[in-house]
Amino acid sequence: KIGRDLAISELNETKGRVEILEKSLKDNQKIQIQVFEKLSSLVEDEADLIEKKMSKIKDIMKNTGYSFERFYSKAKEEIFSQGGPFIPVVSNAINDVPELKNEDFEKTSKSLYGKIDNWNTLKVIQSKLPLGKPIKTINVSAPFGNRFDPFNGEISLHEGIDLVEKEGEKVKITSPGKITYSGKMGFYGIMVEVDHGNQIKTRYAHLKTALVKKGDKVNEGDVIGEVGNTGRSTGAHLHYEVRLNGYPVNPYQFIKVKKDVFKE
């Protein structure tokens, strides 16, 4: 009888500890839910802001037949590249803590992780788009699109933007890529072209000198040349182009997105 009473006492004591542990876990889950909800709201607000600011970029892409959705999917695949063998978890009845199913907790945590994944994907996209500044100061002397030609005064199509800067100033890459052209190119004068992958290219023209050669790999911020006055040019400046799918698009929109959203 004494042994039985002792066993019952130990069982009751164990049950009491389990109940305390369950209550503690439930309380912790409530706190985690509150934290996750707050974080989820903050992350969602940040992602919404980025997507809103990038709406012009998405529109530009669509107008050239470029699929932003496909670009987004590729960026997401890059984040979630993973693998390895499946090793099931073996339950250990002695060491396992009580498993508490909480649908609110699971729903909130999944929502948070989903929004974080979206944020991370947008950051990958940011790293692959030419959103930086090719020169330190952005002073546009000739915008993208139709303009009066500086030599004959007739209306013509300007496939980039002209940025005024003194001769010899550094010209920098706006996104990682590979040099596909470096040298003289007709009216462009000395020009450097960079392939950033995903059918995205940038051009830097009228350079005084090019400091890279075809085949070089470059990262954002690398110096590829100096501002000059070569080719069909009226004075020292940088002619900067962004091309999607072979089509020239307005580079200023890309620079503005970097300035407004992805602050350096």
- Please say whether the beta carbons of 185 and 220 come within 8 A: no
- Please say whether the beta carbons of 198 and 231 come within 8 A: no
Higher pLDDT, 161 or 89: 161
Average pLDDT over residues 157-166: 94
List C-alpha distances in Å: 199 to 54, 65, 143, 180.
18, 11, 23, 13
Residue 65: both structure tokens together:
């037949």
- Taking only the tens place, the pLDDT of each residue in 177-194 is 999 999 999 999 999 999
- φ and ψ at 146, to 5 degrees? -70, 140
- Please say whether the beta carbons of 189 and 204 come within 8 A: no
Average pLDDT over residues 196-202: 93
- Taking only the tens place, the pLDDT of each residue in 202-223 is 999 999 999 999 999 999 999 9
Reply yes or no on whether the pLDDT at 262 is more than 60: no
Give the per-residue pLDDT at 109. 66
Would the pTM count as exceeding 0.85? no
Q: How many CA atoms lie within 13 A of 62 on its CB side?
A: 7
**pLDDT classification of 54: cutoffs 50, 70, 90:** confident
Percent of the chain with pLDDT over 70: 68
- Please say whether the beta carbons of 239 and 205 come within 8 A: yes
Query: 84: Cβ–Cβ under 8 A, 6 or more apart, which residues?
Result: none
